[in-house]
Structure formats: C-alpha cells, structure tokens
Structure 1
C-alpha cells in the first residue's frame, strides 16, 4: 500500500513541478530540492518523536494532516499569498506526508515552497505595479489587520484587492508623515523589491527547517527541529559566548553593515571599524576574498566568526563614504566574545518613604544561561546565570540595599539546572521543582547547597513573556513563601525539553524535544495557567492570543502529589494591604493613567481588527493621538530641555508614525531611538520597587508580622545556636 502511495505521490510531485516550470509568471528559484542528509534527518526525527517524546504520537495520516495545515500556515499565516485553489491543488498530499517522511522523499514540501515563492513574487509584482497610479483616499474603506482566521482568497481578484489595500495603507502612512508622491513611490518600490530579494534568498535548509517545524510543533508547541545553523545559534545563546571579532551585523540595502561593536573585542581594540561600516568581502587569513554583497546575513556571519586566534580580513566600505569610495582592508585576530548584554545586571532604585529612603537592589536576568560544555570540561570561570547573580547579590549586600527585586520580565527560560541553583540562593535547602517523565516517573529536583546568598526580603517581577525556567524559579519562591511575585500572569510553559543531536557533528541538525512536564513543589503545574502574581499589575499582553493557553495543542493543566518541604515564610498577610497601596498609588500616577489609556486603545483596535484607509479619518485619529502625546510630554521632559528646538524636534519625531520600516531609517537615528526607548522610565519596575519599599516599612513596624513573613530567619538563627 505504501509503495502505491509513494508512486502516486511522485507522479503528483513531478506533474506539479513541470506545470510550475512552464508557468511564465514564475519568479525566483523553483528548483530547490531536498538532499540526502535532510531526508535522513527527517526519518531519524520521526523515530525520536514517535518513541521518546513525552506526548508520543504516531506518524500517521492524522499527523500528516496536521503537518500539512501547519506548513501552509508557517508560510502564509495571514492568508495573503496562496489561493484556495493552491491549497486544494495539494490536498491529495494532506494524508500522505507521513509516507513521504518514512520513504525519504520530501520533494512535495519543496515544491509547495517553490509555489510560495512564485506566488509571493506575483503579489509583489502587482504591488509595484500599483505604485504607478495614485490611490483615492476619499473612499470609505478599511484594511483588515489580522487575517489569521480569514478564509484563503478564492481567486486572483480577491487576493489583489487585499494587496491593493495593503499598498494603500503603506502609501497613506508615508503621506501622513509628510512624504510627497515621488518619495513615497521610491520608498515603497524599494521596500517591495527588498521583500522579493529576501524570499529569493531562502535556501534548501530554510525550506527543510520550516517543514520539520511544521511536524514538530504539530506534536506540541515547544518541540522543534534545529538545522545546523539554528543549532549553533541556540548553543551560543545558552553559553553567552562565541569566537569571532565582536561586531553585531545586519543587512541594509544589500550591504552587511556593522550595527554594534562589543567593547573590548578585536573589532573594538583595532580602532579601525565603526558603526555603519559596510563589509563587502571576507577572507580567511591569506586566502582570497569572498564577495558578500547581497548575501543573507546568516551566510555572512559564519565567514566572520571562526576559531580563536585565527585571522580574518574584511574589505570595508566606510560608513561615511559613497559607494565608489576607497575601500579599507582590516585584519583582525578572532577571540572569545562574551555576550554581556544578555548577562545578569544590577541597579539600585531609591524610594522615598516619608523621611526615609529605601534602597531596592534590582537584578535583571534576561535568560537562564549556562555554558554546559565549559562546565563539563571543568573550566573554573564557566558562564552561569546563578554564579553571576550570586556575585551581584554580594555587591548589593555591600551597598546595603533594603531588599532585592529579581526582574524576570521577558525571560523565556533556559537551563533547568540554573533555575534550581538560582532558587538555592534564596532558600537554605529543599526541593525546587518536580518533573514527570513520559513513563510516569516523578523526580524531585532539590537544592542541596546549604546557606542563603540573600536573607532579606525579595520580590520577583514577571510578565506574560516570563516562561519555563522563569516560572520554575517564581513558583518555588512563591510556594516557599520566600518572596512576593509581582506583575502579570506568566506564559504557562510547564514542559521540559531535551536536546538530541542527530549525528555527532550536527550535520543533520538537532531536535529540541519535550521529554517531561514540570510540577511545582505544591503539586500543581505551571503548564497552561502559568504563575499568578501575588501583587497584580496592569496586564499589557493579550492573554487570549499570547501564552501557552493560546496554542491549540498545549498540554492540559494537571497536578501530582506535593513534595515535602518546609515553608520559608508566609506572605499572605502582606499581600492584601500591599495590593491596596499599589492600586491607590497608581490611580493617581499619571504614568499609569497614560498606560491604561494606551491599553484601552490597543484593546479597541484589536477588537475592531481594521484600520481606515480614508485620509480625513486617519488625519483626525493622528491629531488626537498627537495632542494626547504633547500633554504627556509636558510632564516627562525637564524644564532645562523643554525649550530646546533640537529636543522638541526629537520628541515630535518620536511620537509620529514616519511610515518607515526599521531598515529604511538612518542607522544612527534607529540606534538613537532604541537607546531612548531603553533609557525611558520603566514604570513597572519603579512601581515594583515601591511595593517592596512598602513591604519593608510594614515589616519594620511589626516584628510579629516580620517573623511570620520571614520564618527562615528564625530557623537559621535556631540552627546556628
């Protein structure tokens, strides 16, 4: 039976490929084909998924249908590219992709991708054609913003109308920003051309990665296939280091541009490179140069990276030079580069409390990083989130802070070991998290290190993007009663993923596969529901569309028996009064009033799911928004800078929509805007510091309450006696 299906599949694939090759409108590569290593990787991946996954599911017709739907969704989630007839054309394969994987014949996914490239080129060609005429902005019509739940366009007329409205909206945004028709046409024509170029540069690894992730995420949202390129980047993100020159690169106008230079790196120490310089060719040591003009950034980066102490030569066009200017040859010796931007950092916030000033030490942790390989080798200075936080806590102690706030906002997780060891910095000993394997075996992970790095009050700041290891840490702190959890509900990712190399040299890639489920020490799971904060802040995220609960195949919430542990404290008595103080404070705080106004606008726009394409309507909406922004500015700028023409111009530019995309703006302006956003007042962090300051005040005036909130102090004192 399978042999007959394979013959039918091959006949279908060949006929489709021939038909596409004969289509005179086909643009871009349509000859991408799977290679032997990829078909082998797919078969090996299926073996692991069907036998060792926590939610093991057979690779059968039912799974094939899921893969089919997710693959098309990954290519065209907003249903802007394909027609309904395109989906129907391939519907014969809906229940045959399982056979394609098992028989190591993956031509069909590649043919589908070729059709995607063809259709995308057609959509962009039509969009560029529309630029020859000027839209009518007096018509009352609107653009649907989110088309994920829409039907596939039935015909060319329908899909062209969708793209006509998209082009019209792009034009209107630029017009409202003050651009004339000539400048608008040039900007949009170049934008659409760049879209086309990016899609044309997609290669066989991209296609295979997309198809395999359609398979892996059909099982559960956090199982993934990592091709060789993706596997290397994941490894770098975990160890926070790489070997290279210390320059952050990006693509702008077909050039590879230096966006940032890491302090202390070879690029920095040479003094010969600066932000904005364009790399046009790369050479390894004394070897000939390889021209990289027009290359994808992830193809250029491997040429620039390399083994420590090896040499790389760069052919550079200086940032301030014209395209015909003299080039500079820069020779650099690669070194190990620490990615300190993603490492733990500290700051201190001072909060006035009557006549007193409370000092809140903040530890910002973007990820739970760990250099597994360096630790395995026995390197004494291996990179670890816990080691960095322990050092910072020591520094904060010396600074005599009153309490500590661990900021885990937007921390998507990382190493399970680090989550356990980090918890151990705040408790003496005891269980931290439980996990259950596919076979039902429950393992309790325990902090065995005696002693506490910080024995004062502690808070944990979370948001919807705090996930996985962040949720383990926050849940343990909450279950032990060790500190206050502040913010909004977390993501709800309560599953354990393990990495498995498909071959020793990662030539075939890796799989990140769900192998277990997390459970709190109280027996509940963080899966689906996440960690609920003790002190609730305004919710910024859309909880319906973002988070574990938004996935259609997420594992359900469940519970197991609680682990045996001794509470470190009891925060329940302070939660209600702290919540009341918090709500009373933000009710009068202009920053939070503005924030709630903005959130109401976002929710309104999300509900309407449409934006007007009538110029008069959009101008009126813009004027209202700008008037509101001006009122806010009066409070936010200092008297010293309020009358500065340059500052006023910068504020006006920041509050207005310029209609441009990131790579269309001047690099210096883009970096300045990013710095301004980073330096802007963090109202959530400031308010969290106020909450912890309130807690310190309450404990300072009520010794009995303090003894209940911090039971561990009495326990430690008794143990030392």
Structure 2
C-alpha cells in the first residue's frame, strides 16, 4: 500500500521540455495517430524515468537484457506459444533498444505481438484437434505447472505435447468436479455415465480455451505497446509503472474509494492475476479465504460458466471481478502451496468501520495484570477535510484512554500484522504516543538530501511495556512504526522472520502535463507514471527497503514457505544505510533479548499450537515445491483429498478475525492465536524481569507532518 505524505495524494513532478523534434509526429488518420502517440509516449516515459526516478538506470545492454526478460514473461508466461527460434529472433532487438527509444519506434513489442498472434493462430487448430478425442486417465503421467522449470519448445511436436498435457489436466480437474457432484447426490456413475462426464468436461475446457484465444487476439497494437511501456517502467523497480489512460482512471476511482468489489489489491505477474493484499473491511476480508500471494485463475458470475483469466490484462480481469453490491463472484484460486480452491465472495463496498483502530481489555490469566490489545488494520487519515478528519492517531489515543479508563494498563500488545501501510503522518504521530520527542524516520530523495520526520513534544500517551506483532504482510508505514519502536528499544517486536520490506515512496506523474509542444494535444490522454522518488531510513540509519524489520523474537509461521516480500520482487531497490540520527533510547530498557528468547523457546516447545503451526508450515512448504501434478485419475483423486485436508489451514497462521464482531468476540478469537498468546507471555516476562508496570497518561493532541 502506498504511503501518502502530508495531504498530497498526487504529486506532479516538473521537468524541462528538453530538445525534441516533433516533425515526425504529424498525424492525418487514426493509424497515424496511434503511431504518433506511441512515439511520443516512448520519449516522455523514458525522459520522466531518467529524470525523476530515485535510482535511474542507464539504457545499457544489461538494462536491455532485463527489459527483455520481463517482456518475455509477460508475452508468453506459460511458454505455450513461442518457440525457441522465436525467442532468439526477439532477443536480437535488445541490441538496438536504446536507439529505438530515442527514435520513438520500438521494434521489440511490434515484432513480439506479430509473432505471438502468428503462433496463437497456429495453436488454435492443434488444440481443437486434441480436444476432439476423449482423454484416458488410466496411465501414469504428470504435468509440470511451473513454467520456470520449463524451456521454450523447440518445435511444433513438443508444443503439441505440452498442450496435450495442459488440456488433459484441465479436463481431469473438471471431470473430478463432476464426479464429486454425483457423489454428493448419492449417485454412483456407470462406465457410460463416466464417458459422458468426460465429454462434458472436455466441452467446458474447449469453450474456456476458445475464449482465451479470442481474448489474446483482441490485444491491439496500442494495448500491447502500453504493456511494453509498463514492463520498461518496472525494470527500474517493481513499484514504478506506466498507467494507461483507462488504468489511471481506475486508479483515481480507487483513491476516491468508490469502487464496489471484493476488496483486494491485484497485480499482473507472469501471466497471472496475483493478490497483493486484502483490504481491511472489504468483502474478501470478511469472507476470510482469499489471501495475499494467491493466483486467481478463473472468475465466474453467480452460477455462470467460469472465465479463464490467465494472460488477461489486469483491467479486464478487474472488470470481471468487480460488480454490484450483493452479487456473488466465484474465484478459482491457486494457493502458494499448490492447492486449487473455489472461493465464493459476495461483493460489497469496504466497510469503513472495519478499517479503524480497535482494541480490547484482556482478561487476566496467569497474572492479575491489566493488558490492552490494539489492532491497527491500516494507517488512515481523511484528507478531504484538510487533514483534520478522522485518523488513526486520534483513534489510537482514544482507544488507549478507553482501555485505561478504570485503571492504568500494565502492558500493551500492538498488532500490525497484515497492515500494508497508509498515511505516513500517522505512522510518525502514533510512534510519538509512546516516546518522548525525537526523530521517527528519515526520508531520502534521489539527490541525496535527507529530511527527518520527528515527534516534537514530550507528551506520552502510554509509557508501559509493549509488544508489537508483525508478519511478512506488515509493510511500509507499519514497518516505519515497528522500526522506530525497535530502535528506541521502546517495544519488543515479535512475529515472522521479516516484514515485507517496502521502504520506498512513489509519486504519480500525469503525462498529459508534460507535452514537449502544445500542438501535441491531439495525442491525449497519455496516462500517467507511478515513479519511485524517495526511500525510508530508520533512526538507526538502516533502510526498511528490501530487508524489512527483523523481529527481536522470531516465531514459527505457517507462511514461512511463501516467497513474499520486497526481496522476492524483480529489480527491487537494495537495502542500504545512511547516517544515524541523534536519538535517545527509551529510559526503561527491555530485558536481555537472549534471555527472553530462551523463555519463549521453552514455551514454544511445550505449546500444542506452535507444534501444529510448525507441522503445517513444513507440510505447506513441501507442497509448494511439488509443481508436477498427476494426470492419472486415482493419483489425482488422492491429491484432491490432500488438498481438501489442507483447506482449513489458515495461510496467515494467525487468527481469522471478523472485524465486525463485538469486543468480546475479538477476545474469544484471540485465545486461539498462538502469536498473540506468546506476545502476552512475553509481556509477563518483561514485567517480571524488570519489575515495571505502565501508566496511561492523558492523551495529547495530534501532530501532523
């Protein structure tokens, strides 16, 4: 999630027009307009990224090779169309890529689209021929689902065999679905009925694949060119991107918060639509099954036939997933461990109340201490009221006051798990609720200048022991808060082996405002660029980028097998350091970490919950490596049973809290949350070893930055 600085939702970066010859941009018909627009875009995008990116790259041969690798993944991600000779031919255009950008004509995407459409038309009759005859599910064979483990086919015979296995796999999956439907109805299919079911399954696959081909061939020169510019942009870093006019419009709508849908952030990745994050308070959050890192394979409206969305443009896929409030969308999803599950979600608008800070007073267990628990789903601030609207800082302060109304809190657990970020000003001001005045985060521009954002008063809302819960989906602003509390030794950070590692700031550049000459308005709209312009650093000088925040106490996690986080993204900016700021650690030092770790390890070894988490993590990791799926019926049925047995396993390894429940229900659900329970036990350890309690003080007014 982006971090918005102050009240700036959109930042326009001004540059000089430079020298640009517009003579070749004259246009007299629609085709000339498209060609002229493409030339203009290639110039402006290149100039904007070179001038404004935090860490611009030279258009040398290494950069060209990186562009080609990303483009090839986008062009034929499953390696089912292009042949090795095609790849070799396309690679030749990388040698002239820098010159092509300067000339305004990019040969690589032009030839790439031509070759892809040629191969699609050649594959179409091959696929129809394969689907004309029944498949036999009696012989032992396997289909490799991970394209990274496959090479491009050398000839049409290899390509036919790859498609045969892919189609057989899809048919077998639908065939098993039909068998399970009959089993639920108490019917045992006869051999003849089984033949009919296989035919019905093949027919469904045929319709799906036919629609898939038609969609690929509808890809226009303009669409393909836009995708290439997006690929070019992402070679600078994964958060820099070109947004075509339609996508920019969708982005603007998203920022206004007026979309109705499932409440998930999505992105294109290697031909798939991938879930980046689940929006707190959204339909998917309340349903509970869809999770970050899931791949959405098919989308169905209510009881209609599903649509295969592999290789689909993001905006088209989002168009299928969105819909009116109250309608149902069915998503066929592949989990990171290989499971394929069907998830039904009733579309709804985001329930704003469910995104707000919420807390509860914890009932005494092993001790009589009064502990508070507060969860921050996201860092929110209503910018429409000049920054004075509802915000997470004021809500946090009020929650602390409410929990300590009857008596001071002895300890506090702050939950930042799955918090993807939000308003930077609130990450800074919430940190200020727990420390005396001092620096919170450093922000570095591309030119090396550094600005330090600080808490500027001595007031403290709570001064007692604290434990902060994080996981790999704690990102951006939540990493700033956790990192500051860790550097000040103000709180003990516990959770996954690292947080997400999103330590950069992006700005939106409206390309329509950067025409070299006025007579080029006929090419509008051009869209926008999302450009990385700044980097965050902790008060210790360490960047939060790439590595994230490493907890003081690392706990077992079901999601440890997931390759999620900045370190797993192509071309992510590296971790580095700047000079530390002048700050004073918290006066009440935490106990020795090694001793706390020893106590925690002893509890984990005796905990049934952690024993279960470790076993499930190991099983899920093993499954994530098993990318070859059986094409024989008995083996496939056995595999389906294993998948069903894993479905109840939460991918996040934490409580599945319905944010709309009352406080007592939140408390009840926390009782089965192993990470929370260990956080509570560590609070006991800290208080026992330090002999300290806390005081909740009169809340102070918010400071803005």
The TM-score with structure 1 as length reference comes to 0.67
Partner of 2:161: 161
Moved more, 85-94 or 601-610: 601-610
CA distance in 1, matches of 2:74, 2:238: 13
1:439 aligned residue: 447
What whole-Å deviation, never above 9, does each CA across 1:82-117 have from its counterpart, x for those lacking one? 221222232331122333332222465255235435
State the partner residue of 1:253.
Answer: none
Aligned to 2:675: 688
Partner of 1:546: 564
- Please tell me whether residue 422 in structure 1 is matched to residue 430 in structure 2: yes
Shift of 1:523: 1.6
| Offset at residue 563 of structure 1 (A) | 0.5
Structure 1 segments of 4+ aligned residues over 6 angstroms from their partners: 247-250, 275-279, 299-302, 316-319, 673-676, 678-685, 710-713
CA distance 1:525–1:195, change in 2 (3 Å): same
How many residue pairs end up in the alignment? 569
Give 1:43's aligned residue: 43
In 2: Cα distance, 1:687 partner to 1:108 partner: 52
Question: After superposition, where does 1:133-152 map in structure 2 within 5 Å?
Answer: 133-152=133-152
**Closer, same or farther in 2 for the Cα pair 1:318/1:212, shift >3 Å?**
closer
Q: Which runs of 5+ in 2 are unaligned?
A: 1-30, 181-196, 265-278, 283-299, 305-314, 330-348, 515-523, 650-655, 701-705
1:302-341 pair list within 5 angstroms: 340=352
Aligned to 2:56: 56
Task: Give the Å deviation of 1:362.
Answer: 2.9
Q: Is the 8 A contact 2:382 2:388 kept in 1?
A: no
Q: Indicate the SS of the match to 1:191.
A: helix
Matching residue of 2:25 = none
- From 222, 231, 248, the counterpart of 1:214: 231
Separation of aligned partners in 2, 1:237 and 1:404: 34
Indicate the residue corresponding to 2:511 in structure 1: 502
**Counterpart for residue 366 of structure 2:** 354
User: 1:271-310 maps to which residues of 2 (within 5 A)?
Assistant: 296=316
Please give the alpha-carbon distance, in whole angstroms, between the structure 1 residues aligned to 2:671 and 2:218: 41
TM-aligned CA deviation for residue 118 of structure 1: 5.1
Q: Which residue of 1 aligns with 2:355?
A: 343
User: How many Å apart are 1:71 and its aligned residue?
Assistant: 1.2
2:247 maps to 230
Unaligned runs of 5+ in 1: 1-30, 251-259, 264-274, 280-294, 306-313, 320-336, 630-653, 657-672, 717-721
The aligned counterpart of 2:536 is 518
TM-superposed CA distance for 1:44, in Å, is: 1.7
**What's 2:68 paired with?**
68
SS at match of 2:132: coil
Change (3 A) 1:465 1:355: closer
1:109-148, CA deviations, whole angstroms, 9 ceiling, x for partnerless residues?
A: 2552354355456556644543333333333322223222
RMSD value, Cα: 4.5
Question: Following the alignment from structure 2 to structure 1, what is the Cα–Cα distance between the partners of residues 367 and 696?
Answer: 30
1:490-533 CA distances to partner (integer Å, 9 max, x unpaired)?
Answer: 12233333332223499322222222332211122223322111
Which whole-Å CA distance do the structure 1 matches of 2:589 and 2:200 have between them?
60
| SS of match in other structure, 1:90 | helix
- The answer to whether the 8 A contact 1:223-1:513 is kept is yes
Kept after mapping to 2: 8 A contact 1:534/1:575: yes
Per the normalisation by structure 2, the TM-score is 0.68
The question of 1:363 aligning with 2:371 is answered: no
- Cα offset, 1:426, TM superposition: 2.7
